[in-house]
Structure 1
């Protein structure tokens, strides 16, 4: 047997081993990518669920409130975000998590709403053991932030009605509310409060 044949015979197993290592590395990178995508899905679901919970509470800031009988102190409490109704917040979080194929756990310390989600799907089968049972988890917190205040020169109407309420916002806009005809109260709430993610 020639030297060339012997060298070729020695190189072939080495070449096969190198190809096997490269294939495994490629499959491992795919698994990492799958895990990253699942984690991204979980974070998106958490963000959407936290925002949904906070927006539900924000939009119902005037729930059960008769604007005609509010005192100046009560107007101030509402505008500062001290009279929120939290019923329905976690239900909204769960609903939005469900649309993103995840389950949610909701907790809140008004005006912050924190949601932790777990994906229903897993990373999937891969060369890395255990990924077929691996769910992604993520957490997000949304904040309801007041953006307006009562105008100092404006007095809310006395109980029984009469007059208008002047509200000034940080961006310089002024909101004039007629308690007898305020329009959709959820729209007023959206003008008074901004909802944003904090982390």
Structure 2
């Protein structure tokens, strides 16, 4: 009787064991699907961040070049620091380059005003096959905004002093307590670099 009872108990436990193992396998595959989706979303966000920063940095470099070109005309400096300058060209091509290098495609790239870019991208790869229906064709999207901020301020020279000392330029007072005493006759490589004049960062 004892042996038969043990066999009966074993027979009853086997279906429970199969059910538990099946449930654990389902949970494992579910976690795998969640991980795949999260990795795909993270890839999309990385691509969006890089693309937005690239577009903004290209604009920063253009503004810096415009400032150098107008070095002897301080009346134009503030417009340049505000994002206004002659000869500026579209910069979203840089966003497309950086998105492509992160295996994504730019869906939209917009200048929000003069000193900000918002980029939306979509991953080229899908989430992949999983127990969740539809993931084999699902691609992730993400959006990022990059901002350009002037790092420096200045005060125009009084008109009389400017007339008497035509070669003297205003001092650039920049973040970090850095002051640039500008010499109009100095070589260009001694002038502030783009990163000295403007910060580029992702919006909060």
TM-score normalized with structure 2 length: 0.84
CA 1:116–1:84: 2 relative to 1, 3 Å: farther
Shift in alpha-carbon separation, 1:14–1:68, aligned structure 2, 3 A: closer
Aligned position for 2:182: 177
Matches within 5 A, 1:39-188: 39-63=41-65, 66-67=69-70, 70=73, 72-83=74-85, 87-104=89-106, 105-109=108-112, 110-151=114-155, 162-181=167-186, 183-184=188-189, 188=193
Deviations 1:59-96 (A, max 9, x none): 111446632652x3212222333338652411000000
Matches within 5 A, 1:22-41: 22-41=24-43
Deviations 1:39-58 (A, max 9, x none): 11111111111100000000
Q: Which has the higher strand share?
A: 1
CA RMSD of aligned residues (A): 2.7
Counterpart CA distance in 2 for 1:192 and 1:37 is: 36
Aligned residues: 196
Q: Which has the higher contact order (CA 8 A, sep 6+)?
A: 1
User: In the superposition, relative to structure 1, how do residues 186 and 42 fare at CA in structure 2: closer, same or farther (>3 Å)?
Assistant: farther
Unpaired stretches in structure 2, ≥5 consecutive residues? none
Q: Tell me the equivalent position of 1:5.
A: 7
Instruction: Give the helix-richer structure, 1 or 2.
Output: 2
User: Which deviates more, 54-63 or 144-153?
Assistant: 144-153
1:139-190 deviations in whole A, cap 9, x for unaligned? 11000001111135587977xx733342111322111333444515995332
C-alpha distance in 2, partners of 1:73/1:142? Answer: 28
The 1-side partners of 2:59 and 2:191 are apart by 10
Q: Per the alignment, in what secondary structure is the counterpart of residue 126 of structure 1?
A: coil
8 Å CA contact retained: 2:150, 2:199: yes
Query: Is the deviation greater in 8-17 or in 24-33?
Result: 8-17
Query: Separation in 2 of the partners of 1:188 and 1:157?
Result: 25
Q: Is the 8 A contact 1:123 1:132 kept in 2?
A: yes
d(CA) in 1 for partners of 2:49 and 2:92?
13
